[in-house]
Amino acid sequence: MVDRIAKIIKYLKFTVASSGKNDYGDLIVTSKYGCDYKISNKRSALFDIFQPETAVIVGYSTYMNKDYIAVAHLADQFPACTTFELETPPVKPQPTPVSQATESKSSPTPTPALSEVAKEVNKLSDRDEERLRSVSIAYSKDLAVAKVIELAQITTYANKFLAYIKGSTEK
């Protein structure tokens, strides 16, 4: 198999806090800011670089529109002519105080009564009604083909099946 040369799209510098392997043999590196980086098992030659309290610079490449760590260097051995990004701590959203949250909301939207919701749930759309009617006619036709009922009774039985399917036996 021919190894392709990875085109590095960016470099990132961070300090290693800890590292460990996952179930697949990949190295998961945690930075001092708590960000996790995965180094694929395919790049196991890089694993020794990621020691705790060590500043490293990693180079990212892209494969199938996904960035991955392709190269890694100790920060003090990295060529000075190459520019890199510094890792920044992740931005944590600031919680909104409860008093501000309740003040910013307008009047609450009224919720419909439970009986109204139940009516909407039980209400069949025209399309559903049409499908149920079609099924009940098909059942009636099958009975007529099997000579269980007369042809003239198909409509009567279709109405009875439709009422049964809907859950009502009043018809």
Higher pLDDT, 102 or 140: 140
Distances (CA, A) of 142 to 34, 148, 153, 160, 169: 68, 9, 12, 14, 21
Question: pLDDT of 15-62, one tens digit each?
Answer: 888 888 889 888 998 888 888 888 888 888 888 888 888 888 888 888
CATH superfamily, region 10-86 = Nucleic acid-binding proteins (2.40.50.140)
Provide the residue ranges of all domains of the chain, joining segments of one domain with +.
10-86, 114-166
DSSP letters along 58-74, please? EEEEEETTEEEEEEEEE
Question: pLDDT of 106-137, one tens digit each?
Answer: 555 565 565 565 555 556 667 778 888 888 88
Residue 169 has a pLDDT of: 47
pTM over 0.75: no
Mean pLDDT, residues 136-155 taken together: 90
Residue 164 has a pLDDT of: 84
The amino acid that residue 104 corresponds to is S
Higher pLDDT, 106 or 65: 65
**Cα–Cα–Cα angle for 40, 5, 52, nearest 5°?**
35
